[in-house]
């Protein structure tokens, strides 16, 4: 196929390919994902808002798209960059092609790219912004467009639900309020499967409103962007410290850390893929995990916060899990609920229900730490 589109990074580096889906120009932050499967879950994960996702696996789209596997109501990335795009999928569940899905959402794609070179560039130099545009765009003009395009800081606001939603469990034992910062559908499924009815609330719901819903526990979801861009959630968590069992995933993990007084920082190129080994420091167990984040908790900022490290990433020793020594609170940086997997860490949802049960038996969250 004839090359007609290109990706220009902010340093002027260019990658030529063939456009598919939408033909619009877009400025995005370019990141890479190492997963072999799960492209539908990736493009429907709100955590990828404003990002151009490079798939390192060479063939994408071969099993199509179906209506059951979406992780949200959104098609989130700003762009999708692949080596080979399959527009004739073979799968009895397929309802449409990946190209059709992206076109419906007005999201541009770029195929035929040397994704090995592009991934190495991101890994070696770091995440950068880029412009996906027509091949005849002068590089100098593309770089100028990138430079003059403001970086948005309202991603969570754009992807969070607008109104409260309720998802009952078939055999409910607990009621969980989930703060939606860009929450994936499978998180609700997992909570329901462990006997938790779930009330999902917008990201800016305050502590008083959450307590009025009489929850047994509070869940803080994944989501896009810099955790410091959502001070509303940080303040809510700070107000609820010690009043409810809390469980946070990904962005929720970072927000819990900030609420307790720790700090976060941006990684050179982030963690995205389904093959990240994580060690549980409390048990010695090593699990394979799915990850999708640009930011991490700064370990040396935990001193004096009451938070301790429970998990580390064995690839770079970054913080992957926290727990409180004072309150019934824990969090992980990775995605234990991830579809299509891996599923090594699904037991964390059971841990959350056990924590809620323990708090209920002891008459409240503050007493639970004593037993």
DSSP 36-82: SS-HHHHHT-GGGTTEEEEE-SSEESTT-B-TT--SSSS---SEEE-
Output the domain CATH number for residue 21.
3.50.30.20
Task: Say if CB 302 and CB 308 are below 8 A apart.
Answer: yes
Same domain, 121 and 11: yes
For the chain, the C-alpha Rg in angstroms (whole number) is 21
**What percent of the chain shows pLDDT beyond 70?**
98
Distance CA 219, CA 203 (A): 11
Same domain, 141 and 174: no
What are the distances in angstroms from CA 303 to CA 262, 308, 332? 8, 8, 18
Same domain, 196 and 282: yes
Distance CA 6, CA 136 (A): 9
**What percent of the chain shows pLDDT beyond 90?**
93
Same domain, 99 and 217: no
DSSP reduced 3-state for 100: helix
What's the residue count for the chain? Answer: 371
Same domain, 38 and 92: yes
Residue at which a domain ends, from 148, 171, 187? 148
Which residues is 323 bridged to in the sheet?
A: 308, 330
pLDDT for res 344: 84
Residue at which a domain ends, from 104, 122, 148? 148
Q: What is the pLDDT of residues 110-130, one digit of tens each?
A: 999 999 999 999 999 999 999
Same domain, 40 and 79: yes
DSSP reduced 3-state for 244: coil
Task: Say if CB 278 and CB 267 are below 8 A apart.
Answer: no
Which of 279, 343, 287, 344 lies closest to 311, judged by CA? Answer: 279
Confidence of residue 370 (pLDDT cuts 50, 70, 90): very low
Catalytic residues: 250, 335, 337
Q: How many domains does the chain have?
A: 2
Distance CA 359, CA 329 (A): 11
Same domain, 163 and 144: no
Q: What is the pLDDT of residues 157-199, one digit of tens each?
A: 999 999 999 999 999 999 999 999 999 999 999 999 999 999 9
Provide the residue range defining the domain that includes 125: 5-148
User: What's the half-sphere exposure (Cβ side, CA atoms, 13 Å) at 38?
Assistant: 22
Same domain, 223 and 362: yes
Same domain, 164 and 121: no
Same domain, 121 and 211: no
Same domain, 223 and 304: yes
Residue at which a domain ends, from 121, 148, 175? 148
Same domain, 50 and 78: yes
- The label of the residue with tokens 């307590």 reads 211
Q: What is the pLDDT of residues 200-253, one digit of tens each?
A: 999 999 999 999 999 999 999 999 999 999 999 999 999 999 999 999 999 999
Confidence of residue 364 (pLDDT cuts 50, 70, 90): low
Distance CA 131, CA 137 (A): 10
Q: Find the DSSP H helices in the chain.
A: 39-43, 98-104, 115-125, 139-148, 155-159, 185-193, 207-212, 231-240, 251-259, 347-361, 365-368
Structure tokens belonging to residue 30: 């370019």
pLDDT for res 371: 32
């Amino acid at each position: 196929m004839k090359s007609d589109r290109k990706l220009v990074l902010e340093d002027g580096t260019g990658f030529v390919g063939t456009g598919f889906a939408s033909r619009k120009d877009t400025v995005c932050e370019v990141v890479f994902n190492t997963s072999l499967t799960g492209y539908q879950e990736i493009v429907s994960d709100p955590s990828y808002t404003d990002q151009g996702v490079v798939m390192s696996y060479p063939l994408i789209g071969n099993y199509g798209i179906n209506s059951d596997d979406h992780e949200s109501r959104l098609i989130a990335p700003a762009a999708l960059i692949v080596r080979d795009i399959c527009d004739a999928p073979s799968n009895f569940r397929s309802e449409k092609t990946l190209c059709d899905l992206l076109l419906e959402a007005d999201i541009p794609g770029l195929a035929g790219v040397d994704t090995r070179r592009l991934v190495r560039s991101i890994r070696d130099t770091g995440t950068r912004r880029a412009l996906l545009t027509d091949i005849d765009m002068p590089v100098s003009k593309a770089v100028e467009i990138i430079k003059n395009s403001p970086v948005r800081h309202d991603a969570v606001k754009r992807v969070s639900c607008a109104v409260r939603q309720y998802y009952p469990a078939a055999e409910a034992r607990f009621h969980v309020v989930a703060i939606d910062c860009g929450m994936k559908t499978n998180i609700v499924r997992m909570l329901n499967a462990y006997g938790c009815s779930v009330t999902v609330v917008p990201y800016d719901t305050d502590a008083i409103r959450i307590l009025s819903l009489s929850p047994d526990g509070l869940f803080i979801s994944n989501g896009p962007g810099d955790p410091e861009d959502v001070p509303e959630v940080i303040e809510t968590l700070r107000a609820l410290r010690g009043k409810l069992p809390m469980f946070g995933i990904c962005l929720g993990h970072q927000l819990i850390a900030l609420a307790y007084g720790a700090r976060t920082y941006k990684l050179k190129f982030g963690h995205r893929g389904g093959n990240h080994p994580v060690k549980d420091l409390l048990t010695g167990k090593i699990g394979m995990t799915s990850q999708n984040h640009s930011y991490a908790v700064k370990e040396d900022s935990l001193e004096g916060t009451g938070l301790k490290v429970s998990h580390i990433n064995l690839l770079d020793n970054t913080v992957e899990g926290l727990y409180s020594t004072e309150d019934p609170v824990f969090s992980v940086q990775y995605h234990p609920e991830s579809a299509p997997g891996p599923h090594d860490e699904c037991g964390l949802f059971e841990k959350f229900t056990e924590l809620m049960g323990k708090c209920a038996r002891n008459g409240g969250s503050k007493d639970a730490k004593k037993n």
